[in-house]
Structure 1
Amino acid sequence: MALGEVSEGCRRRLVGHYGAAALEWVEEAPGLLQVAAARWGLSLMNYHDAGHASVVSTAVDQQGRRLMVKAWTDPARYRHEVAALRHWAGGPAVEVIETADDLCAAALEMVGGEPGGRGRPAGELTLVAEALQHLHALGRQRSPAGFPLLADYLQGEVAPRVWKRLRDQDLGQWRPVAQAGLHALREAAGAHPDGTGQQTLLHGDLYRENVLFSDCQQPVFLDPLPMLGSEAFDWAFWVVYYEVECGFEDRLALAQTVSGLPVQGIRRWCTVLFLDGLLYYLETHDPRTSLLGNMATAFVRNNEGRSSWST
Structure 2
Amino acid sequence: MTSPVEVPDRLVRTAVRWCGEEAARPWLAALPEVASEYLDRWGLTHERTVLPGGALSLTLLVRRADGTPATLKLGFVDRYTAHEAEALTMWAGHGAVRLLDADVPRGALLLERLQPDVSLRSLPEDRAMLEAVEVLRHLWIAPPDDCGIDLVADRAEVWTRSIPRRHAALGGPCPKALVDEAVSLCSGLAASQPSAVVLHADCHHGNILAAERAKWLAIDPRPMLGEPAFDLGALVRDRLTTVVAETRPQAVVRRRVTWLADSLDLDAERVRGWALVQALALGLWCVSAGDPAGEDLLSVAEWLA
Matches within 5 A, 1:213-252: 213-215=210-212, 218-240=215-237, 242-245=238-241, 246=243, 248-252=253-257
After the TM superposition, which of the residue ranges 35-44 and 221-230 deviates more from structure 2? 35-44
Q: CA deviation at 1:251?
A: 2.9
Query: Tell me, what secondary structure is at the counterpart of 2:240?
Result: coil
Q: Which residue of 2 aligns with 1:66?
A: 69
- Cα–Cα, structure 1 residues 33 and 75, in superposed 2: closer, same or farther, change >3 Å? farther
Q: Which of 79, 99, 109 is matched with 1:106 structurally?
A: 109
Q: CA deviation at 1:16?
A: 2.9
1:271 alignment partner AA: L
What is the distance in 1 between the residues matched to 2:120 and 2:203?
18
User: 1:1-54 CA deviation, whole Å, 9 max, x = no partner?
Assistant: 253452343233223333313322322222222222222221112322433332
Q: Which of 22, 42, 45 is matched with 1:43 structurally?
A: 45
Q: Which of 148, 151, 154 is matched with 2:153 structurally?
A: 151
Matches within 5 A, 1:108-147: 108-112=111-115, 114-117=116-119, 120-121=122-123, 123-136=127-140, 139-140=141-142, 145-147=147-149
Query: Tell me, what secondary structure is at the counterpart of 2:46?
Result: strand
What is the distance in 2 between the residues matched to 1:229 and 1:255?
17
| 2:209 paired with 1:206 | no
Q: CA deviation at 1:84?
A: 0.5
| 2:100 paired with 1:97 | yes
What is the distance in 1 between the residues matched to 2:15 and 2:197?
29
| 2:273 paired with 1:277 | no
What is the distance in 1 between the residues matched to 2:152 and 2:294?
26
Matches within 5 A, 1:184-199: 184-189=185-190, 191-194=191-194, 198-199=195-196
Query: Tell me, what secondary structure is at the counterpart of 2:111?
Result: strand
Identity score, percent: 23
Unaligned stretches of 5+ residues in structure 2: 244-251
Q: Which residue of 1 aligns with 2:168?
A: 167
Q: Which residue of 1 aligns with 2:267?
A: 262
TM-score, scaled relative to structure 1: 0.80
Conservation of the 8 A alpha-carbon contact between 1:256 and 1:263: yes
What is the distance in 1 between the residues matched to 2:78 and 2:108?
9
Query: Tell me, what secondary structure is at the counterpart of 1:193?
Result: coil
TM-score, scaled relative to structure 2: 0.82
- Cα–Cα, structure 1 residues 254 and 140, in superposed 2: closer, same or farther, change >3 Å? farther
- Cα–Cα, structure 1 residues 52 and 239, in superposed 2: closer, same or farther, change >3 Å? same
- Cα–Cα, structure 1 residues 104 and 45, in superposed 2: closer, same or farther, change >3 Å? same
Q: Which residue of 1 aligns with 2:88?
A: 85
User: 1:103-125 CA deviation, whole Å, 9 max, x = no partner?
Assistant: 5412112213x444587345111
What is the distance in 2 between the residues matched to 1:296 and 1:83?
31
- Cα–Cα, structure 1 residues 18 and 282, in superposed 2: closer, same or farther, change >3 Å? closer
1:13 alignment partner AA: T
What is the distance in 2 between the residues matched to 1:285 and 1:15?
11
* Count of residue correspondences: 291
Conservation of the 8 A alpha-carbon contact between 1:36 and 1:103: no
Unaligned stretches of 5+ residues in structure 1: 301-311
Q: Tell me the C-alpha RMSD between the 2 structures.
A: 2.9
Q: Which residue of 1 aligns with 2:247?
A: none
1:27 alignment partner AA: A
User: 1:38-81 CA deviation, whole Å, 9 max, x = no partner?
Assistant: 22221112322433332221212345443210123327666511
Q: Which residue of 2 aligns with 1:308?
A: none
What is the distance in 2 between the residues matched to 1:174 and 1:53?
31
Conservation of the 8 A alpha-carbon contact between 1:126 and 1:254: no
